[in-house]
Structure 1
Amino acid sequence: MAAGADESVLHQIRELQVKATVEDFTPVTVKTKGIVTWADPALGKYFQIQDDTGGMRVEFTGPDGPKVRDLVEVNGTLERGPYAPVISAATYSVTGTGELPRAENASGGGLLNGEYNGLLVDIHGFVRSAEIVPPNIFVALLSSGSARITLRISNPGDLNPKDWIARQVFLRGVAVPVRARSSLRQLVDVEVHGAAQADFYSRGPMPPDPWAQPVMPLHEAFQ
């Protein structure tokens, strides 16, 4: 159960992130506000928000979630979370709509360092693999510098995985930590989650269809 707190005090997200990392932290009731940068009701009762100081995951209790670009005030329980601080058991109210914050230009290495956790980012690289997974998510493995980053795009529309293999692509989405080393809480994996097909694109003409080429024996491929 969360410890008591003054729910009338509006905290910035960075304040909450720092509060949740102190050694003697216990869950506490908090209030914050921000703009929704990612949401997909098909994936569960949570969304991402961001303010001028940082970004955070919110897990809510009501029947319906907000939409991307909604301005929200959130009341809930601040917890450390499995990979990064989260606000759980939250209620929220929509106070308007706004423009998304400027996306940070992120590299694969910077993402894995935790530099952009919870923030809206722009990332680019070459697609190494792609597929559609249930309920309807476009998932691609991106080669970005020396790192491999998984992209997950909700509401993918007519994105066909075969069309994107080996293409240089760009995605605007939220950097989401997804795996850490047990009690050390050392970050080891980050994904970038896009809210819609429009957030994912490629520049330049589509390359020749690799699936239309004849099968080449391996001993010829390396000559």
Structure 2
Amino acid sequence: MNFIYVLNGKKIKNTLLIVLISFFTAVLLFTQNIVHIPVFSVKDGPKAIYKGENGIALTFDLGWGDERAEPIIETLIKNNINRATFFLSGSWAERHPDLVKKIVENKFEIGILGYSYTDYTSLENSEIRKDIQKAQAVFKKLQVKDIKLLRAPTGHFDKRVIQIANQYGLTIVHWSVNTNDWKNPGVNKIIENGSKARNGDIILLHASDSAKQTKKALPDLIQRIKDKGDFVTVSDMMTNGKVHTTLVP
């Protein structure tokens, strides 16, 4: 009997080992799947996008400053990039109508970065609406038509912001690759960060005066990623394939 008991004990241990291995494997697979769950979307409602399927979208946030924007625009033109998206604050656009015109004339896309550079998640709904309306009025006055994209100032948003943007016919656009160029980490670091981009990625860059190294980093960054996908605007990306959306609490 003791012999039989030992055999059963071994079988029990083996069974428990198999169960434990299966359990941890399931946990690992579940965790990996969570990583790929879209983040930033309102269930059964308006959505924010952060990634697409086809092309690579260079996007530039531009909320303030007088010095960096035009050299960055010129660098894109010099490197034969005619598909990129500039998210402009209404207050900046109001002060630089000549550069807004230059962006449009060179076939770059314009999205809204609010009017004033304020964190929308800290505002009441009425204040968010007022800021969006004020920005739209500026672009209408500058004869920039058919703007459909909004990037939340500071990059922070919640489901309220998504829903309000949708009421104005705007889609919130986030990003999948952050160069952190506004931190001025060094030209090589900006290139390294941006070079992580793959086909379908939306890259965050800046053209405000705080981004002192972006212009110098752009030519090498463009060379490193140009074979990974065609350069497109965010709207091109939305039109030419599926886009990934994200969950907002």
Q: Which has the higher contact order (CA 8 A, sep 6+)?
A: 2
Tell me the TM-score normalized by structure 1. Answer: 0.24
Larger Rg: 2
Q: Which has the higher helix share?
A: 2
